[in-house]
Amino acid sequence: MMEIKKLPQTDARVIAVRKAEEKLAELHHERHMLSDEIEKRCEQLRQKAVASETQDKIEAEAEAMIRGALFETESAKEIQELRHKLDVLDRACQMQASVLDVARGQLSVALAKINRDNYVEVQKRISRAVDELARANEAEVNFFRGLEDAGCSSNPYRPMRLTYVGTISDRQSVAAFHKKEVETYCPEALQ
C-alpha cells in the first residue's frame, strides 16, 4: 500500500487547522454550557413565579405578554441578556467554522500537492492494467474467431474476458473512455 505523505505537525497550515478546530470546540462547549444555564434559569424563574406570585399577577403579566408588552423585571432582563450571549456565541461559532473551512482548504491543497507523484503512479498502474486487460480481451476474441475460421464448430473453451472493460479496438469501450479521461486529467500517467 502506498503511503500518503503528510505535512509535519509544525507546518503553519497544520497548526492553523488544529487551532481553528480547538477554538470551534471551545465555542461549541461554551454555547452548550450557556444554553444549559438559560434552561436552568428559566425553570428556576418559572418555579419561583408559580410558588410566590399570586394568580392575579400571573394573569396580568400573561395579558401583557399577549398584547406584546415586555415585562421589565430583573428576571426577564437576565434571560434576555443570556439569550443575547447565546446569539453572539452562535455567530462566533459560524465565523469560526468559516475560518476552519479556509484552513482546511489550504491544508488540503498542500497535501494534494505533495502527494501528486503518488497519484500519478497509481494512475499509471491503473492505465497499464486497463490497457493490458483490453488487449487480453481482444486476444481472446481473436482466438475464438480463429477457431471458428479454422472450422472448429464445437468449442470446448469458455470465454472469460471481462466484457465490461471491452477491447482495445472498440472506441466505445470502458477502456477507451478511461484512456481519454487519463489523457485529459492525468496525462503524466501515460508516459
- Contact status, residue 89 vs residue 27, Cβ threshold 8 Å: yes
Look at residue 52 and tell me whether its pLDDT is greater than 70.
Answer: no
What pLDDT, on the 0 to 100 scale, is given for residue 83?
86
- The HSE-up count of residue 34 (CA atoms within 13 Å, CB side) is 19
Contact 147, 50 (CB under 8 A): no
Question: Which residues neighbour 86 within 8 Å (Cβ) at sequence distance 6 or greater?
Answer: 31, 34, 35, 38
- CA end-to-end span of the chain: 22
Q: What is the pLDDT of residue 41?
A: 83
The confidence score (pLDDT) of residue 56 equals: 65
User: For the segment 172-183, what is each residue's pLDDT rounded down to a tens digit?
Assistant: 999 999 999 999
Query: What was the pLDDT predicted at 68?
Result: 67
pTM for this predicted structure:
0.65
Domain boundaries, the chain: 12-114, 117-190
Give the side-chain half-sphere CA count within 13 A for 183.
Answer: 6
Summarised one tens digit per residue, pLDDT across range 83-125 is 899 999 999 999 999 999 999 999 999 999 999 999 999 999 9
Q: Compute the distance between CA of residue 44 and CA of residue 52 in angstroms, rounded to an integer.
A: 12
Cβ proximity of 82 and 41 under 8 Å: yes
With beta carbons less than 8 A apart as the criterion, state whether 165 and 136 touch: no
Length in residues, the chain: 191
pLDDT tens-digit readout, 119-163:
999 999 999 999 999 999 999 999 999 999 999 988 899 999 998
Single-letter amino acid, residue 155: N
Q: Could you tell me which residues come within 8 angstroms of residue 169 by beta carbon, excluding any fewer than 6 positions away?
A: 138
Q: In the chain, what percentage of residues exceed pLDDT 90?
A: 68
Whether the CA torsion 103, 109, 112, 114 is positive or negative: it is: negative
Q: What's the rounded Cα separation, in Å, for the pair 185 and 39?
A: 55
